[in-house]
Chains A and B, each alone.
Chain A
Amino acid sequence: MGKPDKEAMKALRKQRKAYIDRAQQEMKKQRKLIKAIKEQIKDEPKTVPRIASEAKLQADQVLLYVAALRKYGQVVEVDKDGDYFTYKLDAEA
């Protein structure tokens, strides 16, 4: 696709408004969540339950985003603490 035609894009945005609105709302929530998680583990590796309780988030949500951040190269797994693994922001990323 070359430079998308402005008018056509506008029409498309209108047509997909419902999807786009929802996606934008999702994005907002996601950004907040990710920020909160990253904040928790920027200096020190932590387990999922610890991130969750300190950031007041749900543990399963934390795990989900930690997994995604790992996949896209922003978080690394560090050591094990009891039955749980700890995660840290990747210094290089």
Chain B
Amino acid sequence: MKETLRLQYDALVIGGGIAGLQSALDLADQDFKVAVIEKDATIGGKMIRLSKVFPTLDCASCITTPKMAAAAHHDNIDLFTYCEVNSLDRSQGRLKASITQKPRYVDPDKCIGCRQCEYQCPVYVPDQEQGGFNLRKAVYIPFSNAIPQLALIDVEHCALCGKCAKVCPTEAIDYFQQPEDFVIEAKTAVLATGFKLTPMDQKKEYGQGQIPNVISSLQMERLLAPHGPYQRVIRPSDGKEPDSIAYVQCAGSRDLSLGISYCSRVCCMYAIKQAMLLSGALPLADITIYYMDIRAFGKGYEQFFQNAKAMGIEFVKAKVGRIEQGENHNVLLRIEEQEGDGRVVRREHDLVVLSLGMVPDWNPAGICPVGTGDDAFIKCVRPKLAPTLTEMEGVFVAGVAAGPKDIVDTIAEAGAAAMEASNYLNSSASGRAA
């Protein structure tokens, strides 16, 4: 049997979203050697999948790609994508992570990212990177600015027809690739495992994800993105350019019936942002935001909100009780207005966006002894003075892994986690990795 590969680093970062990348860069810039483990086939996290970002309305790619590229090219950073962390424990003053490299069925040293395979592959698969609104192939590169630019085969949909192997100019396709286990040893770690959206299918009153023109906010990000599924905003049921679009706030947050009592903190702002982008893309469309409280608390956010109001976006303080399928692919909302005369009214829209909240993408239970809070996000043991400390010695947390937050707050926290990790490296006796 082959001996397991053991790699040595100063710091290990789990999660290659914006939090993980920023922590890695801040550590690497202090001359520490860093390994970043990402479970996805590309780094970048949610941010690289967004359209534009509040409050500056920079395009998300413009801000994320350079950070991704900086991490990819940094002498002190190694990226391990498409990897699963099986365990992380501490013994004799060192952290040991056992990791599995999932097979891409493509040799990473040979693939040049030309996408010939993707063009030739005969099987179409719904592309989750496009909210399921477009298709990819069974062999594919996640998206045009993914890092690394490596193809991978989705075996569950692969017909094993051999076309990609035939067309690949560098003979990179390897149908026989196997998972490979390896070990990373480091002295400190940053957990930056981020979030996923609260599931669409949980709330009965909101149609459980079965009403075609009720979409999630991340799906709307794709509709608005420069390389979106339709390259314009049309609704998924029939391609109509919507005249009236509604946002349902706190869909999946502040909702005890779903067991999610907390505020997800970004949904107000992203809804306002999307509404602004929509009124740019579809100047004639009516856009309504049904909300409980607008939480525009960050630097420049309240001004952003007031601008949106001035642009004519309608803000209605109301609770959306029920969402139903209407006629002509339209969507019916039953709302209890909290202002006005408080009747239950029905409103019809062409397209409805659920401003879904955030739940953690990763549960450390069984993998490492890091506790979580009532909200299931990673527990911070000193939230005031050292917000990135976890229950495990030498292991820190950053970004949404430690509770919902926007990119600005995530980046600050990632810097803080890097500071704690470098302090830890500095104070622990055994010195740096070779």
Contacts and interface: CB of A to CB of B under 8 A. Distances in A.
Chains A and B in contact, CB within 8 Å:
yes
B175 A9 contact: yes
B237 A19 contact: no
Given A20-B159, A68-B135, A85-B241, A27 B123 contact: yes
B134 A68 contact: yes
A63 B235 CA distance: 9
B175 A67 contact: no
Nearest to A34: B124
Interface string A31-56: 00000000000000001110010000
Given A1-B171, A1-B173, A1-B174, A12 B238 contact: no
B335 to A, nearest CB: 25
Given A23-B138, A85-B239, A1 B172 contact: yes
Given A1-B107, A64-B133, A68-B134, A83 B176 contact: no
Main secondary structure of the interface of A (DSSP, over half): helix
A59 B238 contact: yes
Nearest to A80: B241
A19 B155 contact: yes
B230 interface: yes
B60 interface: no
A60 B212 CA distance: 8
A72 B134 CA distance: 11
Contacts of A64: 126, 133-135, 236
Interface string B139-161: 00000000000000001111110
Interface in B169-202: 171-176
Contacts of A22: 157
B157 A19 contact: yes
B124 A47 contact: no
Contacts of B172: 1
Contacts of B123: 23, 26-27, 30
A12 B162 CA distance: 12
Given A1-B174, A23-B159, A67-B229, A49 B138 contact: no
Contact of B239 (A8, A12, A63): A63
Contacts of B238: 48-49, 52, 59-60, 63, 84
Interface string A1-25: 1101000110011001001101110
Query: Which one of A20, A68, A72, A85 has the highest number of Cβ atoms from chain B below 10 Å of its Cβ?
Result: A68
Chain A: number of interface residues, binned into ranges:
35 or more
A83 B243 contact: yes
A63 B230 CA distance: 9
A8 B160 CA distance: 12
Contacts of A48: 238-239
Given A68-B134, A72-B119, A1 B212 contact: no
A84 B165 contact: no
A4 B135 contact: no
Contacts of B160: 9, 12-13, 16, 20
Contacts of B126: 64
Contacts of B236: 60, 63-64
A62 B230 CA distance: 12
A7 to B, nearest CB: 12
Query: Which one of A13, A47, A85 has the highest number of Cβ atoms from chain B below 10 Å of its Cβ?
Result: A85
Interface in B211-255: 212, 229-232, 234, 236-241, 243
A70 B119 CA distance: 12
Contacts of A59: 237-239, 329
B108 interface: no
Nearest to A2: B171
A71 B171 CA distance: 25
A52 to B, nearest CB: 7
B363 to A, nearest CB: 28
18 contacts: A1-B174, A4-B162, A4-B176, A12-B160, A24-B159, A27-B159, A30-B124, A60-B236, A62-B239, A63-B133, A63-B237, A63-B238, A64-B126, A65-B124, A65-B135, A67-B134, A84-B239, A85-B234
Interface of B: 107, 119, 122-124, 126, 133-135, 138, 155-160, 162, 165, 171-176, 212, 229-232, 234, 236-241, 243, 329
Interface of A: 1-2, 4, 8-9, 12-13, 16, 19-20, 22-24, 26-27, 30, 47-49, 52, 59-60, 62-68, 70-72, 77, 80, 83-85
The 6 closest A-B pairs by CB, nearest first: A48-B239, A68-B135, A59-B238, A23-B159, A67-B134, A1-B174
Given A63-B133, A65-B124, A67-B135, 18 more contacts: A1-B172, A4-B165, A4-B175, A8-B176, A9-B160, A9-B162, A19-B156, A23-B158, A26-B123, A30-B123, A60-B212, A63-B230, A63-B234, A63-B238, A65-B135, A67-B230, A80-B241, A84-B240
